[in-house]
A and B are shown apart, each in its own frame.
Chain A
Amino acid sequence: MSSDSSSYKVAIIGSGPAGLSAAARAAELGIPHILIESAPDISNTVNFWYQKGKHVMDEPANMPLRSSTKFEEGTREEVLQAWKEDIDRLKINLRFNSALKAISGDRGAFEVALANGEVIQAQSVILAIGTMGNIRKLGIPGEDHPAVAYKLDDASLLKGQRIIVVGAGDSAIEDAIALSKNNKVTVINRREGFDRAKSRNAAAILRAIQNKEIDCIYGGVPESVLARTGEGASAEMIVESANGSITVPADLIIIRAGAMPQRKLLDSLGVGFPNEAETAFPIIGEGYQSTRAGIYIVGALAGCPLIKEAMNQGYEAIEFIEGRSIDPADEGLLEEVLKNLPDYRGVKEALTDLKTNVPMLSEVTTLVLREYVRESELLFLKAGEVLYKPGDYAQGISAILKGSLALSRDGNASERNYQYTVGSLQGLTSIKSGLPQDVWSIALEDTVLLETPLRASQKLFNSVDSIKKTIDHIFTRRILLRSFVTLLPEDSLLEDINEMHFDALAGDVELMSLKAGQVVYQEGAVTDAFYIIRSGAVTLSRDFEGKTQVQHLISTGEWFGNDEIFLGGNRLDTATTTSRTEILKLDASKLMAVLARYPSIQHAAERRARNMLLKEQQKSTETNTSAVISFLDETGVVEGTNVLVIDEALCVRCDNCEKACAETHGGISRLNRKAGDTFATIHVPVACRHCYDPSCMKDCPPDAISRQADGDISINANTCIGCGNCVANCPFGVVQLVAAKPPEPTSLLSWLLFGKGRPPGQETEHLHDGTTSKKAVKCDLCVHQASGPACVQACPTGAALRKSPDQLVRIFEASHLNH
């Protein structure tokens, strides 16, 4: 298509479901439009990131589709085919290979600049660029050669080929190493080293290059890709290097030059964000309009990861641009959620009530609120019914719409320790800290709650700054209250304690975001504050004759640095973070002021501090504990909530743990006993630790990873798309991407007697044919088994333990390790 200076009514950026739907609606209405796509094909995400043959779902099933294009549940190919037919049918003005560079001008007269220098005039712009990012292309001639690819589906499918991998990042290295086993791989690295990659990856590829398993052209700049005629490879790449121009033949060229960051682009477009968080979504007002008037945001970028919803948004955006007010497509859904409310009058009224009753929601925009409510459901509790009990992990937050709840330590509502009324939020502390509940929450009267799942809640927290602040405040207050509760003798009640007394204290916190290994305070420093860990962990260590010995491990939700306040005097320990840690710092004098109201707590705290000091003096003679804690710290055990540890003094290396895991998990063991770190006889095998702050969960496009009520982090196999983000993000390497043959049923007896059939516990083969999509799998704590994790259950000698880090410290402390 030639460079045209004609003006369009609407320019749609991104041909994903949302963009396509918008363009289709525009085409249908005969509105002058242009659909701009940076890739050479439509719908980058579906096209590139989805595996071949992947089944595309049309969730939420009850939501009506409102679009001019078809969309039905089916394979990736069917969906794409339907869209392509619609593009032809509706004559959508579509332009490929056109990346957005900038937008200037104002509503009614935007100038959309493309990467290739073209400028397009448009009155409105719809941004439907998704969240997966723009794949960085090389921009060299011949880039569209069929041998050029931007991702690797399954390295094991390729054999005996000559492959070029362009790039020096982690993904490039991983691809290259995976391919080098069966293929001749050449890596083209623009730089002279692999310093951008993780150290493990860098070491691996340097070793491979040294062993001549992989060729590497350092300082190589790809010049062009040429089709190759005749025998041999189908293409060749001309690479400019220090030694001149080199021609490298290739059957496949994989370009792993990374993806363009979204945020930067969006910031440059002047789209407003509620906060600086990487994961934050742009602020979207009525009619999908962003903070920059005339620029509309729809689809995944609008925080809507589902295809059908995105398509609806695209459709609706065009309607809004056309000036038509349209009932949101989710009206029916909202009604479904809210209709059981007492004195329900209509969706709009109910939402207004919600805003007035729940202070947290008062400042939320209607669009966000609608989505929030849509994801939620009403929960009706009769008087005396239990919302949660100690040990439960919160699944989300619940706002009290009617009635009240009592918090009780012993499950008896009448002896309540604290009471929550309309507007309060439940489950907040658990969600924020990743800790289980430690009290009972019981309905005092007939109570109605709006229960919202974790993801929707977090989206809300991240999208509205004020909410985030409020939530943090409430969280701090509650965690303070909770910490004080631990000081109280078991039998005393909290009746007299008023949460609001902690309000001032909580309002005056300083949030410290620290990296691993940072010192919070030094031994001997002046005691002026105490700390509560919001996420991460801290070790308290002490200097003994020049040797640093770790005394304590403080994990999420606990407080530290308070003992010195009660004892008086300077710091006795040095506090160091073990991992990325968020700490709330509170002023010591304010704490004492609050405590002055509660002399019994104060006494208890002082007594505890004195006892602690005594115990510590005994402990200082035992270097073992210190070493153990250091080890657990270094290996990241402390980041977990439930860690598999093997006591090698007992482990007879029978691998029954792995077999049990494989047998109970579709033939794939989710733990590797041999791998992992060892200290003395403590071995931490490679297995999921169910971190407080799970890295795997951070970047999961379908939001398939979540913390369950039992505390385990689990991957939903139905929604997992096999993107591998969790595999890459997990610092402990516990997530695997597998497509495995379903294990054959086996008769134990026939195997025992004759060796026939599959040995019990044998891992099944991975499928290499690519017909089944890969899924991320990892330890699920065997929640389906009443008797607990199969690995621990199947350990004959009691060597395998699955415990929380502090339990582990206690266990190994008790066993007086000798080494």
Chain B
Amino acid sequence: MKFRIRHANQAGQPEDHSTHLVFESDNLRIGRHPENDIHTDNPHAADFHGVIQVARDSGLATLEALAHSGILVNGKSRKIATLKPQDIVSVGHFHLRILTPDAEHDFEAEVITPEEAQAHLLTLDQGNRLIRWIKAKLHQLHVRPVAWFAVLLTLLVLFLIPLISVYVPSLNHFLKNGSPLMRAMSATSWSVGPVSRYHIRIADDCEKCHSDGAFTNVPDKACNACHEDIRHHFNIDDIKVTGNPMPMCGDCHQEHIADNFLVLGDRVEQCLQCHADIKKIAPQSELQSIPADFSGEESLLAEKHPEFVAAMVSNHEEDHPIVTRVRMDDKEHLKEHSGLRGFSHKDHLNKDGILAPDGKGGAEIMKLECWSCHKPDDQRVGMKPLTFEDHCQRCHKLTFDGLAPTTELPHGKADKIFTFLKEFYARSPKGSRIDPPAPPDKNDRELPGRMISQGSLDFDQPEVTLDGYAREMTQRVFEKGVCSECHEPLKPSNDVSEWRIVKPKFTEKWYPAAKFEHKAHDLYACTGCHKVESSETPEDVNIPAQASCTECHDAGDSTCLKCHTFHKDPQFNMKGTRFAPKAEAIKPWHGNRSGGEPDGVITPTPKQP
């Protein structure tokens, strides 16, 4: 066996054969002991570290480690290894690279430097390059890849996935039903805050409101799609805006604030934006402008808030009521012309009581309280309407003939009065009537009905015809008593059968845009606000004015919305305005509100008899 061991030459240096070791031997021994063939004085080598043998037939070189620790072949510890060209055999810092032997030799290897060996070993495990690269990067604590990863992940989770789920509802649905983290990736995750509970059922469907697509504001039409019959806050045609966009729903209504929060207008400043100078925006508005400094706790409502304006029914003569706005401090015009006459709160509320005509209840004198007539409605917001039958008739009987003290005229049927009287006197033939007894009234108080029989005309007179008497009586009833005591006669012609009375029209909602509940004011006496003790005529308006409210309510605890209500004016129904939605655009999610009469609408319809 011929072995040749070369000492590595630096590149570019001429080959120096003197450094080559060539010897013939059975095997090649490596170690620190001088007896070895390759004798290295490297302290890391064992005395006899390993032996290389070459098989005669195959020419394969085999390395056997003599040292217990084995010998390193290509960086791995081996006891026995078959050597191929380019393998590296290492003993401490001593490295041998196996070469392909030429024809003369059976085995050839060269001694290489530790650096070369290191470089060579590195090339051997190319396969794990990626893993090595990652390991190296991790080892060097490189922040940049991690930072990029974090940035891209953030973009993905907070931007891309929500964006995709806007357009892919199934993904959105999937995410919505997942963990909080998944929900945070859903389309709604861009929501800037909780959706108010009023809209909670459509909260997951961004498109419902953001109908123009992602990253857009909510257009009014999206609101109107559901709220199609809501009244406008104002008459859209009154608004004269130059330069500024038309006020939108979103100007007062803000979503994503809190679950119980929707109206941004509960804020003096917010309302003041328009109402500080309402004429500027709506020149025809009858509304009063609010002082611009009407804000903060310093300004008291009493000082700054304008006097209330009542919405009074002013035309009792017409079939259709006309509402006139009268400032409460405008005493001259503040007269309610309801068509009712002769009523005095003062008399009725006499502290000593008033005479009860029928003596029912065991007393002739009866003391009236407010609630004797005014009963709260079921919601205890307002009062039940008063009716003649329930509230007046007990005392004010519509008797008209002393000879028939129990017969009363039918109330509310003025057109039937003439016929009624004619029939009445037809049924009581002449001479059948007897004089009525003297009245027991000590006070000589005229009660309705009694006067009528004491007229100059006597039915029993022969020249008096039934028709004529009936006409006479009708005229008397209309003009002198019974009806006229409380009502104004309406005489279109001299034919009494065509006479009617003016139907009284009461203002039911004095402050139509105000939120007022009697319920909340239960603790207080009625007369504390309604100054009726001195009211002597039915024209008196006993509705409290601003001063009465501001006695207790201060700007500090009362916002605009506490008293004012909106979207109630039927005149400004959104239907027909330019904001009317396309019907097919978005279907309202609740059907029960569409159609039907909206509540709280001022409809001072004439009372049906």
Contact = CB atoms under 8 A, between A and B. Distances in A.
B14 A160 contact: no
B12 A160 contact: yes
Interface in B110-148: 144
Nearest to B145: A755
B10 A232 contact: no
A231 B14 contact: yes
Contact of B10 (A159, A212, A231, A755): A159
Given A159-B10, A160-B10, A231 B41 contact: no
A212 B144 CA distance: 43
A768 to B, nearest CB: 16
Give the size category of A's interface with B: under 10
A215 B437 CA distance: 162
A231 B15 contact: yes
Contacts of B10: 159-161
B14 A232 contact: yes
B41 A160 contact: no
B18 A232 contact: yes
Interface in A204-219: 212
A752 B144 CA distance: 8
Interface in B1-36: 9-18
Nearest to B9: A160
A755 B144 contact: yes
A160 B113 CA distance: 12
A231 B11 contact: no
A752 B11 CA distance: 40
Contacts of B15: 231
Nearest to B10: A160
Given A160-B10, A755-B144, A232 B41 contact: no
Contacts of A159: 10
Which of B9, B15, B144 is most buried by chain A, counting CB atoms within 10 A of its CB?
B144
Nearest to B41: A212
A393 B18 CA distance: 65
Given A212-B41, A755-B144, A231 B16 contact: yes
Contacts of A160: 9-13
A231 B17 contact: yes
Interface in A740-783: 752, 755
Nearest to B15: A231
A161 B16 CA distance: 12
A232 B16 contact: yes
A159 B12 CA distance: 10
Nearest to A183: B10
Interface string B447-459: 0000000000000
Interface in A149-176: 159-161
A752 B142 CA distance: 12
Interface in B275-333: none
A444 to B, nearest CB: 63
Contacts of A161: 10
Contacts of A212: 41
B155 to A, nearest CB: 15
Nearest to A160: B10
Nearest to A184: B10
A233 to B, nearest CB: 8
A185 to B, nearest CB: 14
A159 B13 CA distance: 10
A463 B175 CA distance: 93
A232 B19 CA distance: 10
A25 B18 CA distance: 56
A231 B18 CA distance: 10
Nearest to B42: A212
A755 B16 CA distance: 46
Contacts of A755: 144
Contacts of B13: 160
Contacts of B12: 160
Nearest to B151: A753
Contacts of B14: 231-232
Nearest to A233: B16
Nearest to A755: B144
Nearest to B13: A160
A40 B41 CA distance: 43
A155 to B, nearest CB: 15
Contacts of B16: 231-232
B19 to A, nearest CB: 9
A294 B11 CA distance: 59
A746 to B, nearest CB: 15
A80 to B, nearest CB: 30
Interface in A168-198: none
A187 to B, nearest CB: 18
A160 B16 CA distance: 13
A637 to B, nearest CB: 33
A502 B10 CA distance: 73
Interface in A283-307: none
A283 B414 CA distance: 152
A212 B41 CA distance: 9
Contacts of A231: 14-17
B72 to A, nearest CB: 20
B501 to A, nearest CB: 91
A161 B14 CA distance: 11
Contacts of B41: 212
Interface string A125-167: 0000000000000000000000000000000000111000000
A642 B166 CA distance: 65
A752 B12 CA distance: 42
A477 to B, nearest CB: 62
Contacts of B9: 160
A655 to B, nearest CB: 13
Contacts of B11: 160
A160 B15 CA distance: 12
Interface in B324-374: none
A288 B15 CA distance: 59
B152 to A, nearest CB: 13
B14 to A, nearest CB: 5
A160 B14 CA distance: 11
A231 B16 CA distance: 6
A232 B9 CA distance: 11
B44 to A, nearest CB: 12
A625 B9 CA distance: 59
Interface in A230-267: 231-232
A230 B18 CA distance: 12
Nearest to B16: A232
A231 B19 CA distance: 12
A160 B41 CA distance: 21
A232 B15 CA distance: 7
A232 B41 CA distance: 25
Nearest to B17: A231
A160 B13 CA distance: 8
A20 to B, nearest CB: 39
Contacts of B18: 232
Contacts of B144: 752, 755
Interface in A503-554: none
A753 to B, nearest CB: 8
Nearest to B14: A231
Contacts of A232: 14, 16, 18
B41 to A, nearest CB: 7
B118 to A, nearest CB: 15
Interface in B482-499: none
A759 to B, nearest CB: 10
Contacts of A752: 144
17 contacts: A159-B10, A160-B9, A160-B10, A160-B11, A160-B12, A160-B13, A161-B10, A212-B41, A231-B14, A231-B15, A231-B16, A231-B17, A232-B14, A232-B16, A232-B18, A752-B144, A755-B144
A-B residue pairs, 3 tightest by C-beta: A160-B10, A232-B16, A231-B14
Interface of B: 9-18, 41, 144
Given A231-B15, A231-B17, A232-B16, 14 more contacts: A159-B10, A160-B9, A160-B10, A160-B11, A160-B12, A160-B13, A161-B10, A212-B41, A231-B14, A231-B16, A232-B14, A232-B18, A752-B144, A755-B144
